[in-house]
């Protein structure tokens, strides 16, 4: 899937005459008005395929979610790896990239989604291993709320500059403190699910 995604991006950029190192400024808002429904469908189809891989691999809801996280993270990192092999892009981890276009452009340095993907792979494998060994993963209200809140902050960090990007601007700054806070919150929630704090005995 990573190979396929990279190949599609190479084809599209070449067909549209977009240089790989000249993604910004977006032309016509990145084609959002005409391509938005198609792009939304493509993104949903990709998520469905990744979720299907996790569903077929796991044996319970939590394990299936864990394997879906592993599939997502592997796909994302493989995408950048293949794209670099195909056309030498991105030239560095600090290169700006368009992560998604729906509902607004998600923009950030390449290393940021790679960090997210690495965390998904790591914790996904730890959770799957724990469950396969007959262990328990403590998923309670705090873990769910912390994971969701952390994810929202990470997404927010990528979309705060969407107005500038849609207006034809070039990304210059990125809300990395928001990203760091979101990652810390999500990692803390995941960590307490794997290693819940012990209660003191009376």
Strand partners of residue 96: 109
Give how many domains the chain has, as a whole number: 1
136 located within any domain: yes
10 located within any domain: yes
Q: Cα-flanking dihedrals φ and ψ of residue 24, to 5°?
A: -115, 145
| Residue span of the structural domain in which 155 resides | 2-194
Question: In whole angstroms, what separates CA 7 from the centre of its chain?
Answer: 19
164 located within any domain: yes
Q: How many other CB atoms are found less than 10 A from the CB of residue 189?
A: 22
Q: Of how many residues is the chain composed?
A: 202
94 located within any domain: yes
State pLDDT tens for residues 57-95.
Answer: 999 999 999 999 999 999 999 999 999 999 999 999 999
174 located within any domain: yes
Burial group, residue 32, by CB count within 10 angstroms (0-12, 13-18, 19+): middle
State pLDDT tens for residues 94-148.
Answer: 999 989 877 788 999 999 999 999 999 999 999 999 999 999 999 999 999 999 9
């Amino acid at each position: 899937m990573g190979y396929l995604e990279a190949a599609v991006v190479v084809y599209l950029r070449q067909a549209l005459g977009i240089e790989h190192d000249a993604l910004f400024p977006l032309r016509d808002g990145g084609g959002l008005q005409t391509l938005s429904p198609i792009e939304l469908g493509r993104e949903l189809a990709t998520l469905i395929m990744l979720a299907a891989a996790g569903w077929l691999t796991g044996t319970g809801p939590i394990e299936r979610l864990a394997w879906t996280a592993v599939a997502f993270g592997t796909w994302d990192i493989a995408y950048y790896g293949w794209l670099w092999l195909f056309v030498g892009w991105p030239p560095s981890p600090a290169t700006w990239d368009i992560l998604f276009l729906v509902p607004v452009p998600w923009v950030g340095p390449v290393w940021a989604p790679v960090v997210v993907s690495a965390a998904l792979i790591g914790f996904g494998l730890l959770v799957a291993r724990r469950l396969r060994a007959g262990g328990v993963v403590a998923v309670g209200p705090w873990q769910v709320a912390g994971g969701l809140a952390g994810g929202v902050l990470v997404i927010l960090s990528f979309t705060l500059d969407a107005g500038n990007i849609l207006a034809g601007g070039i990304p210059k700054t990125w809300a990395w403190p928001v990203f760091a806070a979101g990652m810390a919150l999500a990692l803390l929630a995941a960590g307490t699910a794997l290693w819940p704090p012990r209660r003191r005995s009376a």
